Amino acid sequence: MYTPYSQSVLRHNQILIWLCVLSFFSVLNEMVLNVSLPDIAHDFNKAPASTNWVNTAFMLTFSIGTAVYGKLSDQLGIKKLLLFGIIVNCIGSLIGFTGHHFFPILILARLIQGVGAAAFPSLVMVVVARYIPKENRGKAFGLIGSIVAMGEGIGPAIGGTIAHYIHWSYLLLIPIVTFITVPFLMKLLKEEETIKGSFDVAGIIFMSIGIVFFMLFTTSYKMTFLVISILFLLIFLKHITRVSNPFVEPSLGKNASFMIGILCGGLIFGTVAGYVSMVPYMMKDVYQLNTAMIGSMVIFPGTMSVLIFGYIGGLLVDKKGPLSVLTLGIVFISFSFIVSAFFMGMTPWLITITFVFVFGGLSFAKTVISTVVSSSLKQEEAGAGMSLLNFTSFLSEGTGIAIVGGLLSIRLLDQKFLPIISDPSTYLYSNMLLLFTGVIVSSWLLTMTVYKRL
């Protein structure tokens, strides 16, 4: 016979289990298609600039959605929003799978998937905070974090295997598994009291248009797109100073150290995301590896290493300080890029090894950026500030993927700059890695200059 206490514990555990299932299968959607980008490019006869929109489209609506769901949770309730996100994500999956022969439909499906999937990182943590007892929240957050990292880690291996032996379109169906959580979460989660409030729809529209046209500029390099992007972003900046409940709090723009922190973090995260999107093309062109090998032999060890480096990074921040850990992370990333650039074409195992250190360095950088950015915020700015950090981090990853796709397509860097490189098929990728190194090191120097003064 269950006591009220044991029933409560059972309910909390059940909620946590289904949140883990939801988090695991939803996060696979971010990584599984990356390894298949060359196959998609081949099937549609598209350049990387267009093909990379398969990931960019998802990250675009995903990044904006994470901020929107967070702001709506008090007004509409977690239960309704979580159900909405799951259903929309599944609808996007079905549209993408059934219409995968048509590239515009595929991009539309990824946009829809991003709208739905954005609910998960925003709301899952809120559910834990509201439903799990305070003494167990640390374990719950840690468990979900590990599940998410595991999903991101094995995503490339699953994606590469399915794409190689079946077809990449079946990867679009993976998020449908999250629908099994609906009846359980609807039963376990309570109906919540909601509060009335205004929502800055116009601000979201202005900002979204500006971001979309900037990404279109990086795809085609048409100056018209850049002009439209700048115009709408300026309108957005003017708009948020005039409304009572802006989508982005304008007062944060006056906090110079905070803005520099999210800028540098965005450059680092976007560069690594762009590199990850480039690796499948590189492994196909230079090493002639198939999709299954790229996913399981090259990318998988690196993504799984995050589990180890994330734990180590947290310990080092407390012992050595955040800036020392950031420096170590930047050394990992930049050294890996330089080694890969100078010895491109020797063996694919070199890329596998350096990939581990790129993700290790990224794990260190993410830990540090979160730490130093939060330290630059006043207590009353913490909520809005960290929300903006999450938004810009996701958005920068999508932007990095778009920019790298454009650079791979115009092939401006497809020239022999390094005398040590003799194979023409490696010129473009070697030079791209040197460019990545420059961006990473510049971001580190700016971060160190600003935060050493604090």
Quote the distance between the C-alpha of residue 297 and its chain's center: 22
Shared domain for 356 and 432, answered yes or no, is yes
Place of tokens 């549609």: 44
Shared domain for 54 and 89, answered yes or no, is yes
Parts of the chain with a pLDDT under 50: 1-2, 5
What's the pLDDT score for residue 441?
Answer: 95
Shared domain for 223 and 309, answered yes or no, is no
Shared domain for 261 and 324, answered yes or no, is yes
Shared domain for 173 and 238, answered yes or no, is no
Shared domain for 169 and 316, answered yes or no, is no
The residue among 178, 197, 216 that closes a domain is: 197
Shared domain for 125 and 169, answered yes or no, is yes
Sign of CA dihedral 89, 90, 91, 92: positive
What's the pLDDT score for residue 1?
Answer: 46
Domain containing residue 89: 1-197
Shared domain for 337 and 408, answered yes or no, is yes
Shared domain for 299 and 428, answered yes or no, is yes
Q: Tell me, what CATH number does 410's domain have?
A: 1.20.1250.20
What total of structural domains would you count in the chain? Answer: 3
Shared domain for 75 and 102, answered yes or no, is yes
What's the pLDDT score for residue 318?
Answer: 75
What's the pLDDT score for residue 150?
Answer: 74
Shared domain for 109 and 180, answered yes or no, is yes
Shared domain for 283 and 360, answered yes or no, is yes
What's the pLDDT score for residue 451?
Answer: 79
